Amino acid sequence: MKLGQVIEKRLKAMKERREQLVEAWAPYINAVEEYKKGHDGSGLTDYDKANVAQCLENALIEGGMRQSSKIFETTYADNITFLGVQLPVIAALLPSLVLNKIAIVQALDRRQGAVFYLDVKTGQAKGSVASGTVLVDAKTGQLSTPGGRTYASELVEDENVGTLGSTAY
């Protein structure tokens, strides 16, 4: 089998799986679509439907694993299962996220995904900041020292701008 045929076969299988998920979650998806049509006149795209269905499926799998096959139970005012509340919330909120309008968003088909982050380090010493200092850390944020906050500006905290005789300014 040629590579092109393998790819076509896999893409077709993925599309069929996505269509099955959308069909399985149709009651939630249809309710959201009706609401959106009445509220802002637009429905859901096929892409939106697939993302909502995948997120609902992920919640069901995760909730089912946590509750060990006791997914739904009788609901009383003081006894609401998280999954019973989570599914309608996911279906209602996902299509209305502003992120859907500014970026391509795709639901993962697993409970976890790889997250990549970027740390920004200095290349050279400048003022009170040494070479190799982390200016922006993906986990903790921006360096909070005055020198770190002004590293890229014209006036850097504690930076020598020149010397006059033996005195640094």
pLDDT digits (tens, 9 = 90+) for 102-116: 666 666 665 555 566
Q: To the nearest whole percent, how much of the chain has pLDDT over 90?
A: 14
- Considering only CA atoms, which of 150, 153, 148 is closest in space to residue 137? 148
Q: What confidence tier does 41 reach under pLDDT thresholds 50, 70, 90?
A: confident
Helix 46-66 × helix 26-40 angle, to 10°:
130
Is pLDDT of 84 > 50? yes
Q: Which carries the bigger pLDDT value, residue 144 or residue 114?
A: 144
Strands 120-121 and 134-137: antiparallel
The pTM of the full predicted model, rounded to 2 decimals, is 0.50
- The tally of CA atoms less than 13 A away on the side-chain side of residue 18 is 17
* Region 71-97 average pLDDT: 58
Confidence at residue 71, expressed as pLDDT on a 0 to 100 scale: 46
pLDDT digits (tens, 9 = 90+) for 18-37: 999 999 999 988 988 888 88
Tokens of 148: 């770190």
Confidence at residue 37, expressed as pLDDT on a 0 to 100 scale: 86
Q: What confidence tier does 69 reach under pLDDT thresholds 50, 70, 90?
A: very low
- Cα torsion 14, 17, 21, 26 to 10°: value is 100
